[in-house]
Structure 1
């Protein structure tokens, strides 16, 4: 299959959203005195993706009345577009499989992957909550999670990813929505939050949302949770914070407009790690579906249009995105065998890629070269070199 990571997952404009003008209105924080609250709620959550639904569910289980506001007609978010895999360190699912893990090991893996360019205390705090979160979702929220034990995810020392039966974010979102309904958390869709209201000290008193017909509603709240994801769909913010990706295509949810960051800055909050991003070196060109990275971690390789490997693919799918962008025509071909083809059927995304025609099969290297217009001789040499590496007869130049 031919892959193009020019669809970078967190970094670029969504042309449809820009053209429609849906996100043209500047987000801002208004004085509390300008509000005309129609009603009030103890806890308001902005965003009904995975984060917002979990936040609303937790607040509701603690006894609070909750309203979750979602800009779209149906909650999808970035979570719904993902595989829905959740890392947890020292979960009962791991222990049942005999896997020894700890929050400290998890935190060390994260710091190593991030080249220690993030806050170690925050990482450790999140790692310490990870197992409790996974078990809470499974045991108290009815989310059918199991340990993904068929492969070791990139950057992790042990198997600690947990997923739903079909390994899809949409399935995870469905379970979370059911849990919110059962718990009595209210969800308001087609409600785009455009402004917050705050007093002179920065204390939030409510918000304003815009409905599809252009009408607005002011809603008071005692506590506000912003679960708006990142700024992938906001070209101006991408150009400001990650200029090297300003020309990359956007593959993600168009609602990721960076509102929480903009509101936070207006309220005087600091920002950190703002230049971080996640790319993907395995998005099938022309199909909009990801070929997930286990195919690489378990032995697949990528070659460019010259039939040559060009990097250490195992470093991760985000790192590989920029490597592929540097290749001729910004594409690569992922090559793997029948064993990996069968392993990947665990993932619904892969099954959808097959249905879409993104996966092509060949019986010989020559047929494969012909399918993708690769130099047959160069591809033969690359495959022979790779086979020698797997036998321990040579050292990888990357």
Structure 2
């Protein structure tokens, strides 16, 4: 088989390789940053009979394989060469994908990111940007004693037994290093949150951007990727994974105006988030979340789950999800749970409280799903002012008119349409020390709720799924027999989460970002190491073939 012309020009070295923009991957040469001039000759032979793995409707043919309900995955021959080759290809440019890219680049790998959305978004951007870590230098500076063991115990106490307890321990051990790596190497602005600590954490361990927004976290990561020259192709979804002999070695990417790029890679990292925006997958795997409004990123449509299943990947905790009991009905904003922790309550349309609000926003979402709405978060003007001062996004809820304001209980009851007597009784419960609270609440923040009052209509929401592909502590996707699928890594919502086996009760604040950024860091490092090992193997083969006279 003749060597394609595109590889011949690289034999003399990289100095005369021209940079060719490919489907938005401008700034990458084809090949990019490859130091072995003969490497592409070997890559061409190694991948000459690769097959892509994709979803029906993508011009795939031959050997149809039934996978997830409603989906069929097909295999076909790929007869054309790669348009671009990198060490590590990352699918998804959210928090997980960006961290993975930065980590892989720092380890010396050539990296590219394909993102199907037209802008950086994902659930990281929708979050508060809070990353839990135990034993960080920020905690030590604040005089807070913490340890990975204590952190893991806190998480497991809430989550209960589940399919990824190895990840709970691994991520707890990594957490301090993760936060300090983000600050020192990725140049992310993080501060220790000491003004509140959400349910499940026995000490203050949430590290968040100064604005307390995931958008700031994502902007910092994007800026670092830009400084490193890591290309991000926006609006260019991965259509198929390219697989040869069970080894993942690239992807087919849809580009502008119907163009297609075939990207070769020694490792592929799935950072595509979960399947919260795929109603069919929710109905099959996470049915308890069906009645919840979806408040997560629109791009979470389950591609990783579908591709992984076709490759025989194991899955775990598919019935678990992060819920939120405070999706503001009018604006779609998420009410920070600090409002409840300061003493706010949640009532139903009858004016009655439905549970212990301090169980957390995710756990209370399950309670709301078990009751009839509407629901209202009721709090005081004092709480509103305090929380707005520290969390600017909450202040916007009031600014856009998503708050009922009243000088007394009678006026508030009339505005939101609940029985006045029931509302007064609910408000009176906050004056109790907790010993007689019908729902067992013990912590009341600022104490009894006092006028003037505020209320926001809320709805239970599914924020993101917490189940996905089974991965080991090296972020390698595992088959059902426990063996890794070579060349394939996953993190964040694409991987099995650490929030219990089912429902939303097992979620601890920050679990999502801990999994996304922690597994992203691990996957980036491991994928880069795998790519380097492959390079050594290919170099050895080149030298051997030359010595044997097989490459002429």
TM-score (norm 2): 0.65
Give 5+ residue unaligned stretches, structure 1. 1-22
Task: Find the counterpart in structure 2 of residue 238 from structure 1.
Answer: 282
* 1:169–1:142 CA distance, 2 compared to 1 (3 A): same
* CA distance in structure 1 between the aligned counterparts of 2:359 and 2:286, rounded to whole angstroms: 21
* CA distance in structure 1 between the aligned counterparts of 2:149 and 2:72, rounded to whole angstroms: 39
* 1:263–1:34 CA distance, 2 compared to 1 (3 A): farther
* CA distance in structure 2 between the aligned counterparts of 1:94 and 1:30, rounded to whole angstroms: 51
In the TM superposition, residue 382 of structure 1 has moved relative to its aligned partner by 1.8
Determine helix, strand or coil for the equivalent of 1:263: helix
Task: Find the counterpart in structure 2 of residue 317 from structure 1.
Answer: 361
In the TM superposition, residue 64 of structure 1 has moved relative to its aligned partner by 1.1
Q: Tell me which structure has the larger Cα radius of gyration.
A: 2
The yes-or-no answer on 1:115 pairing with 2:160 is yes
Task: Find the counterpart in structure 1 of residue 65 from structure 2.
Answer: none
Alignment of 1:216-295 (within 5 A): 216-295=260-339
Determine helix, strand or coil for the equivalent of 1:323: helix
* CA distance in structure 2 between the aligned counterparts of 1:208 and 1:30, rounded to whole angstroms: 13
Deviation larger for 344-353 or 95-104: 344-353
Task: Find the counterpart in structure 1 of residue 420 from structure 2.
Answer: 376
* 1:55–1:265 CA distance, 2 compared to 1 (3 A): same
* CA distance in structure 1 between the aligned counterparts of 2:112 and 2:269, rounded to whole angstroms: 10
Task: Find the counterpart in structure 2 of residue 3 from structure 1.
Answer: none
In the TM superposition, residue 356 of structure 1 has moved relative to its aligned partner by 1.5
Among 286, 298, 306, the residue aligned to 2:342? 298
* 1:140–1:341 CA distance, 2 compared to 1 (3 A): same
* 1:233–1:108 CA distance, 2 compared to 1 (3 A): same
Alignment of 1:13-92 (within 5 A): 28=73, 30=75, 33-34=78-79, 36-92=81-137
* CA distance in structure 1 between the aligned counterparts of 2:125 and 2:297, rounded to whole angstroms: 9
In the TM superposition, residue 221 of structure 1 has moved relative to its aligned partner by 0.7
Deviation larger for 341-350 or 269-278: 341-350
RMSD: 1.9
In the TM superposition, residue 223 of structure 1 has moved relative to its aligned partner by 1.2
Determine helix, strand or coil for the equivalent of 2:406: coil
Task: Find the counterpart in structure 2 of residue 340 from structure 1.
Answer: 383
Provide Cα deviations, 1:260-295, integer angstroms capped at 9, x if missing partner. Answer: 111111111110111111111001012110111111
Alignment of 1:199-210 (within 5 A): 199-200=244-245, 202-210=246-254
Give 5+ residue unaligned stretches, structure 2. 1-55, 59-70, 441-552
* 1:198–1:91 CA distance, 2 compared to 1 (3 A): same
* 1:76–1:159 CA distance, 2 compared to 1 (3 A): same
* CA distance in structure 2 between the aligned counterparts of 1:322 and 1:154, rounded to whole angstroms: 15
Q: State the number of aligned residues.
A: 372
In the TM superposition, residue 245 of structure 1 has moved relative to its aligned partner by 2.6
The yes-or-no answer on 1:178 pairing with 2:241 is no
* 1:296–1:56 CA distance, 2 compared to 1 (3 A): same
TM-score (norm 1): 0.89
Contact map agreement 1:48 1:75 (CA 8 A) in 2: yes
The yes-or-no answer on 1:351 pairing with 2:395 is yes
Contact map agreement 2:114 2:233 (CA 8 A) in 1: yes
Contact map agreement 1:151 1:298 (CA 8 A) in 2: no
* CA distance in structure 1 between the aligned counterparts of 2:172 and 2:250, rounded to whole angstroms: 32
In the TM superposition, residue 299 of structure 1 has moved relative to its aligned partner by 1.6
Deviation larger for 338-347 or 222-231: 338-347
Task: Find the counterpart in structure 2 of residue 99 from structure 1.
Answer: 144
Contact map agreement 1:37 1:218 (CA 8 A) in 2: yes
Among 128, 133, 137, the residue aligned to 2:182? 137
In the TM superposition, residue 241 of structure 1 has moved relative to its aligned partner by 0.3
Deviation larger for 116-125 or 172-181: 116-125
* 1:212–1:81 CA distance, 2 compared to 1 (3 A): farther
Contact map agreement 1:32 1:198 (CA 8 A) in 2: no
Task: Find the counterpart in structure 1 of residue 503 from structure 2.
Answer: none
Kindly indicate whether structure 1 or structure 2 has the higher relative contact order, using CA contacts under 8 Å at least 6 residues apart.
Answer: 1
Contact map agreement 1:88 1:130 (CA 8 A) in 2: yes
* CA distance in structure 1 between the aligned counterparts of 2:437 and 2:348, rounded to whole angstroms: 20
* CA distance in structure 1 between the aligned counterparts of 2:317 and 2:326, rounded to whole angstroms: 24
Provide Cα deviations, 1:295-332, integer angstroms capped at 9, x if missing partner. Answer: 1122211111111111111111112112223333x221
Deviation larger for 237-246 or 86-95: 237-246
